[in-house]
């Protein structure tokens, strides 16, 4: 499977990738985007099987990205990996079509729990 | 974590302790008020918080501490080097996660900005900050309301 990691922090993209490997998902292919706008372009160009996105990004936020995808009919599985995990944000994410929201700081167990059914 | 209507020292310290422990595998403790906490060249990260209270959280540390924080975050060995841009990115992301945790503990509707990071010379004033430890070094934290 191809997984798109969208986060404006290069360090955080590296940590998400490392944590995915620790969770046993390192054999998948990964592509990266530096903000929501680039992620939208890369979803179109790369056709990932899963998007892991930060919420708070310049140019286009994660929730704007998700709404743009769903608004154009794209149903790619989508999860947030974000520093904010309030109940309001979880509800907003779910309503917009997100599968899950993992709050930072996170562990490999959080990724396993959210993704093992989908990624095996 | 307690629930508050505006960020205060206890709330921010609790967030820092959580982030130090879970992201950086370190312990944050209050820095003794009678212990010197000076440095000459440092890194300062800021992030805005908007809601019933408006202002920003500011984290300032020595450049070597910033390098160590970035290394801890990425799980690097002591010999591995990082470009300055990545060090700033890491310190900003640490404050971003602290800010997210603080925001989550506040009552009401809040918005968190994007972190900004810059070089700084000298430590902030002690009476305008609280200081926590990174190993044997100080990290300054400020809760700065917008000017009235």
Asked if B96 is an interface residue toward chain A (Cβ–Cβ < 8 A), one would say yes
Q: B15-72: per-residue pLDDT in tens? A: 999 999 988 888 888 898 888 888 888 999 999 999 999 999 999 999 999 999 999 9
Quote the pLDDT of residue B29.
86
Q: Which phi and psi angles does B41 have, rounded to 5°?
A: -120, 125
How does the average pLDDT of chain A come out, rounded? Answer: 95
Of A15, A16, A18, which Cα lies nearest the Cα of A50? A16
The residue segments making up the domain with residue B75 are 9-30+38-145
* DSSP-assigned beta bridge partners for residue B49: B55, B112
| Nearest chain B alpha carbon to A9 | B89
Distance CA A86, CA B46 (A): 22
Planar angle of CA B67, B143, B91, nearest 5 degrees: 15
Which of A5, A85, A105 should one mutate to test binding to chain B, selecting the residue with the greatest count of B CBs within 10 A? A105
Percent of chain A residues past pLDDT 90, beyond the cut? 89
Distance CA A110, CA A114 (A): 6
Euclidean distance between the first and final Cα of chain B, in Å?
A: 29
In the predicted structure, residue B2 carries a pLDDT above the cut 70: no
Name which residue leads in pLDDT, B127 or A77: A77
Residue B4 lies in a domain: no
Q: A7-66: per-residue pLDDT in tens? A: 999 999 999 999 999 999 999 999 999 999 999 999 999 999 999 999 999 999 999 999
Name which residue leads in pLDDT, B25 or B85: B85
The fold of A2-119 is Rossmann fold (3.40.50)
Q: Domain holding B128: CATH number?
A: 3.40.1550.10
Q: Which phi and psi angles does A8 have, rounded to 5°?
A: -75, -10
Total domains, chain B: 1
Task: Answer yes or no: do B101 and A83 touch at CB < 8 A.
Answer: yes
How does the average pLDDT of chain B come out, rounded? Answer: 91
For residue A67, the distance in angstroms to the closest alpha carbon of chain B comes to 19
> In which band, very low, low, confident or very high, does the pLDDT at A119 lie, cut at 50, 70 and 90?
confident
Distance CA B14, CA A119 (A): 35
- Residue B17 vs residues A53, B13, B22, B123, B133: alpha-carbon distances, Å: 25, 6, 9, 21, 10
Quote the pLDDT of residue B114.
95
Percent of chain B residues past pLDDT 90, beyond the cut? 64
């Amino acid at each position: 499977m191809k997984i798109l990691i969208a986060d404006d922090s290069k360090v955080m993209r590296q940590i998400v990738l490392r944590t995915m490997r620790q969770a046993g998902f390192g054999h998948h292919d990964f592509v990266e985007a530096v903000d929501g706008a680039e992620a939208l372009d890369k979803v179109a160009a790369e056709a990932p099987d899963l998007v892991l996105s930060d919420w708070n990004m310049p140019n286009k936020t994660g929730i704007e990205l998700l709404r743009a995808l769903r608004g154009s009919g794209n149903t790619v599985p989508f999860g947030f990996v974000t520093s904010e995990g309030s109940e309001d944000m979880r509800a907003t994410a779910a309503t917009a079509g997100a599968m899950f929201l993992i709050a930072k700081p996170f562990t490999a167990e959080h990724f396993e729990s959210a993704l093992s059914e989908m990624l095996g | 974590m307690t629930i508050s209507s505006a960020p205060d020292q206890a709330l921010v310290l609790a967030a820092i302790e959580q982030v130090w422990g879970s992201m950086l595998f370190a312990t944050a403790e209050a820095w003794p008020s009678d212990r010197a906490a000076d440095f000459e060249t440092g890194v300062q990260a800021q992030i805005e918080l908007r809601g019933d209270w408006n202002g920003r959280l500011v984290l300032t540390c020595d450049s070597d501490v910033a390098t160590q924080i970035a290394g801890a975050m990425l799980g690097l060995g002591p010999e591995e080097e990082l470009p300055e841009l990545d060090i700033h990115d890491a310190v900003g992301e640490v404050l971003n996660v602290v800010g997210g945790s603080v925001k989550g503990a506040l009552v009401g509707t809040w918005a968190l900005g994007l972190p900004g990071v810059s070089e700084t010379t000298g430590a902030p004033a002690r009476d305008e900050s609280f200081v926590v430890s990174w190993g044997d070094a100080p990290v300054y934290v400020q809760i700065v309301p917008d000017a009235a």
